[in-house]
Amino acid sequence: MKTFGILSLSALLIASPLHAEKKAAVDPAALALLKNMSTSLSSAKSFTVRSKSILEVPAFTGQLITLFSTGNIALKRPDKLRAELGGDAPAFNFFYNGASVSALAPQKKVYSTTSAPSTLDDMLTGLTRETGIRFPSSPLFYSDPYSILTRNLLSGIVIGRTKVNGVACDHLAFRSPDVNWEIWIDAGRDALPRRLAVTFTDRPMYPRTVVEFSRWNLHPWLSSSSFEFHQPLGFSKIPFAAVLHSSGR
């Protein structure tokens, strides 16, 4: 009976997608699904979405600590972005209005404002370059997410069809330099991302972030004034990168 159990388990593993016959390093089917999702996002002139995240951050003990975070994101092309994040990690608000970026850490009572490029694409690229901070979901905010997500891909496969919070999704897995990532894309007409998992292989202990997206609205009404930052009373101004680091994100 024990032998039968071992043989059955082996057969199951061999038949699973993770042990299927090796295909091309980057499966064209995975790229097609990713391209379809990118088209859905890039064709939207604006959108709003809610997020729930699981963040792994290093602690002084030498271990990774798991934090749970929520967020509300609003985007208006080509030059507007607002993110309001809360949860276990300190609250953090981010504003971009096409001319400047502002970051606010309410619990620390600090903020920063600095000039920024005139497009979302240039702003997001500059943010990573200047601060070293990488927001896992930021590739989805570019004008062409596909070109960002497929840059320097090492591998890409279709894991299969599954559900995320009751929504049928195509589960894809990719590897890029310094990052392993997975994405679950709504298998319906909208082809929107429902979950994103990112493992940073260039960092100690390979920290991981998982983000789930809900309540997508591809046709919201967003006023330009909602992306403006107003300096709060009693807050101290500090360097921009310091605000990002002080939020623990």
Domain assignment of residue 126, given as a range: 20-246
On whether residue 6 sits in a domain, the answer given is: no
What average pLDDT does range 160-172 have in this prediction?
A: 97
pLDDT of residue 57: 87
Residue 100: CATH number of its domain: 2.50.20.10
Task: Please check whether residue 163 is in contact with residue 34, taking contact to mean a CB–CB distance below 8 angstroms.
Answer: no
Contacts with 25 (C-beta within 8 Å, 6 or more apart), sequence order: 154, 155, 156
Verify cis geometry, omega within 30 degrees of 0, for the bond prior to 220.
no
Secondary structure percentages of the chain, helix, strand, coil, to 5: 25, 40, 35
pLDDT of residue 23: 57
- Does the pLDDT at position 6 exceed 70? no
pLDDT of residue 165: 96
On whether residue 104 sits in a domain, the answer given is: yes
Length of the chain: 249
**pLDDT tens, residue by residue, 80-131:** 999 999 998 788 899 999 999 999 999 889 999 989 999 999 999 988 787 7
Q: How many domains does the chain divide into?
A: 1
pLDDT band at 63 (very low <50, low <70, confident <90, very high): very high
On whether residue 8 sits in a domain, the answer given is: no
pLDDT of residue 12: 34
On whether residue 1 sits in a domain, the answer given is: no
Q: Which burial class, exposed, middle or buried, applies to 29 when counting CB atoms under 10 A from its CB (0-12, 13-18, 19+)?
A: middle
**pLDDT tens, residue by residue, 174-197:** 999 999 999 999 999 899 999 999
pLDDT of residue 127: 84
